[in-house]
Amino acid sequence: MVFSPNEIATRGEEIYKRQYQSRFEATEHGKFVAIDVTTEKAYLGTTPPKAYEAARSANAPGPFHLMKVGEIGAFRVSYSEDGNAKRDWLFR
């Protein structure tokens, strides 16, 4: 299966909300989770590389959408997208 960047992100968020959010937010708060958008499986780790290594150990095909359990985004940045200067054209 081939996914566009937008499809990976959208599908990853949808799979997480449907299958994992309520369970993980009760028991895995603060961990990183890589959602395999092909198989719909989730791989947890205390850091992003550990989530990636968990997926790799399981021979997960990917691609993955990386999230942080209990947060609205995996990482925080110190900038905004004012004036489109930082806007990512891949996701428009």
Partner 1 sequence: MPSATGSFAKAGPTITVRIHGVFPELGQNFEVLIDTGYTGFLSMPITKAFPLGLLLFGTTSLVLADGSTSNRLTAYGMVELGSESQNGVIVLETGSDELLVGIEFLSAFKKRLIVCPTSGVVELIDAPPPSSTP
> Which residue in the set 37, 42, 43, 69 belongs to the binding site for partner 1 (CB under 8 A)?
37
Dist CA 2 CA 22 (whole Å):
29
Residue 1 lies near partner 1 (rule: CB under 8 A): no
Dist CA 51 CA 31 (whole Å):
9
For partner 1, the binding residues in 60-89 under the rule CB under 8 A are 62-67, 71-81, 84-89
What is the 8-class DSSP label of residue 6?
H
Closer to partner 1 by Cβ: residue 22 or 84: 84
Q: Are 25 and 69 in contact (CB under 8 A)?
A: yes
> Which residue in the set 31, 44, 48, 54 belongs to the binding site for partner 1 (CB under 8 A)?
48
